[in-house]
Structure 1
Amino acid sequence: MIEFEGVYGFEISKPLKLDGLTIQPVYQDFTKLQKLSKDENCYHLTGVIRYEKSTVEIDLFDLEGVLAFIDHRDVIVANKIQAKDMHEAISKLPSQINGLKRHGGGGKVIMSDAFSESSREDFTKLALDELAKDRNNGNLDRSVFRIAFFKTIEVFRARKQFREVSYYLLFSALESLARFSESDYTSSAEIPISQFLIGLGFDVKQNNPQNLRRSISTYSNLRNALFHNSQTKTEVNYNGDVVELNLNDYFGYFNRLMPLVIIKYLGFDDGHIRWQSWIDRQPFK
């Protein structure tokens, strides 16, 4: 008998091979798969893990997180069973998990395997390797990438969503990565963040009054207003002109930026991702 386990809510139409296991797709009809994987009311069985080793090093908590990050929608790995083959495994596994409402995180950030066969597999391996390094360092509480990664996906995984909490999670994730990467733990946040993002290739400036969306001080000022004054609006003086910043106007940009930062930080580029998509909302080439 072979060990299998269900993957619920992940868009997968091609086998995804990892060390010691393969995730096999349940559906070949891509239109049906898309509909089921995006269902907000329950988690449908869309993939099945076939374990190929008795001991697998991959942590399933991390695997769930990476698969969720890819689609920017929560994914569940559950219900380990034994079966003689894939067909029997599908028949034995529950077809869906009910009782939990799913929230979308703005759309997938890695191209569908129907259009780029290896992108999701390659990214999954890269992300799991990085998370494994952090897990194996013996001090998870101080693992900068791990904490930033899971803060980023907690934004859409949370059962009850509050924009103020989401913004704090995203900003603190970016700030921690930036300060760690730039070895700057004393300057105002916008300084290491702007240096970090520019180093990754993003078209931003520390201060850019002519384009507030690309100005890191915009997001830093909103964070300060939220954190210190519990306000979602703040007024900023730019060369004598007073401008009101509203979190509702800028949250979407920042929410789209952070996944791209994670992807860039990992060094992943399959040639399909548009790095300006946090501005124009066109994720793929």
Structure 2
Amino acid sequence: MAKFFGIYGFNFTKPIETRWFSLSPIYKNKLEIDKLAIDTNNLHLTGIGKANVPATPDHFFHLEGSLTFIQQQLIILDLRNQTKKDYPNSIPIFHKRNHGNSLILNDTFNPDSTRKLLHTLFLKLTDESFCQNTGFREALYRNVTIYKLPKPIIDITYYLSFSGLELVARKNENDYSRPTAQVINRFLKNFGFLTTLREMEIFTGLRNALFHNGKYEWAKRATKTEPAELYKLTDYDIKCETLLCDAILKLINFDDQTINWNRWKDRMGFTG
């Protein structure tokens, strides 16, 4: 494997040092890197990486996945060359890069957060016992897959997010018999999320309507205390994805004190 490698599309302006890799940014200007990193039509060379240990294909795979997860946008590593000067300034892509909101503030506002999260992700991704017991790795890559899709088809994106959330909930609660909404709600509440059973019933109802009936909405029947109500999948797809990402962060015990843990609902990414 290459000792040096090109980093395409990742937004960073400060060097990142971990046990496994050293990542050096090409751009120092925030406005310049913001424009290049978020480009949906091209992948721009934004950094050069160097392996600090004899890196395996899995190491590079996990690095690429971790960077994609952090930024919520496709990041590519170019391993074809051996020296810092061999990498093209951009790589053409044949479909638009889907993008969400970065999970953490960039290094202009929170200088060490990216390094800490990348280090924590790598520790857990390479911990076989942790991954097997928690479902962490499988859940993370379900989210990463969303940003590798040529087009964000809601049938697929909602499946990936909801199934990832159910996976980690059932694994960590060790509960494979109770209704899904109950298990997910208990799991999230144990991590401090302000969710309700009703909200998780909506997520689950939309999953069932989509997977079993091919419908993009779910009608909750009226009860003695509540009226009938119609919920649309388009209103909950991003909420479910955000909740999965933040549940993953809680699972690995990452908190840089700037994350708004209610952002899945209010869409305010950070505190302060």
Contact 1:6 1:93 in 2 (8 A): yes
Contact 1:4 1:49 in 2 (8 A): yes
For residue 220 of structure 1, what is the aligned residue in structure 2? 204
Aligned residues: 267
Q: Which amino acid aligns with 2:220?
A: V
1:136-155 alignment to 2 at 5 Å? 144-155=135-146
User: TM-score normalised to the size of structure 2?
Assistant: 0.92
- 1:35 and 1:191, CA in 2 relative to 1: closer, same or farther beyond 3 A? same
For residue 103 of structure 1, what is the aligned residue in structure 2? 97
Counterparts of 1:171 and 1:203, CA distance in 2: 18
SS in 1 for 2:94: coil
The CA deviation at 1:217 is: 0.3
For residue 73 of structure 1, what is the aligned residue in structure 2? 73
For residue 28 of structure 1, what is the aligned residue in structure 2? 28
SS in 1 for 2:22: strand
Q: Which amino acid aligns with 1:180?
A: K
1:1-285 alignment to 2 at 5 Å? 3-53=3-53, 55-56=54-55, 59-83=59-83, 89=84, 91-134=85-128, 144-207=135-198, 215-240=199-224, 241-285=227-271
Aligned Cα root-mean-square deviation (Å): 2.0
The CA deviation at 1:143 is: 7.5
- 1:41 and 1:105, CA in 2 relative to 1: closer, same or farther beyond 3 A? closer
Q: Which amino acid aligns with 1:223?
A: R
The CA deviation at 1:245 is: 1.5
Contact 2:134 2:168 in 1 (8 A): no
For structure 2, which runs of at least 5 residues remain unmatched after alignment?
A: none
Contact 1:102 1:157 in 2 (8 A): no
The CA deviation at 1:56 is: 3.0
Counterparts of 1:20 and 1:230, CA distance in 2: 45
Runs (4 or more) in structure 1 with deviation over 6 Å come to none
The CA deviation at 1:50 is: 2.1
- 1:252 and 1:3, CA in 2 relative to 1: closer, same or farther beyond 3 A? closer
Contact 2:98 2:152 in 1 (8 A): no
The CA deviation at 1:80 is: 4.2
Q: Which amino acid aligns with 1:220?
A: T
The CA deviation at 1:48 is: 0.4
Contact 1:19 1:56 in 2 (8 A): no
SS in 1 for 2:3: strand
Q: Which amino acid aligns with 1:192?
A: V
Counterparts of 1:21 and 1:228, CA distance in 2: 45
The CA deviation at 1:238 is: 4.1
The CA deviation at 1:26 is: 0.5
SS in 1 for 2:117: helix
Q: Which amino acid aligns with 2:163?
A: S
Counterparts of 1:249 and 1:3, CA distance in 2: 45
Contact 1:21 1:51 in 2 (8 A): yes
Residues 215-272 of structure 1: CA deviation (Å, up to 9, x unaligned): 1100011111111111111211242421111111222322222211111111100011
Counterparts of 2:21 and 2:235, CA distance in 1: 43
The CA deviation at 1:117 is: 1.1
User: TM-score normalised to the size of structure 1?
Assistant: 0.88
SS in 2 for 1:279: helix
User: Does 142-151 or 116-125 show the bigger shift?
Assistant: 142-151
Residues 171-209 of structure 1: CA deviation (Å, up to 9, x unaligned): 1000010000000011111111010000011101112xx
Contact 1:106 1:256 in 2 (8 A): no
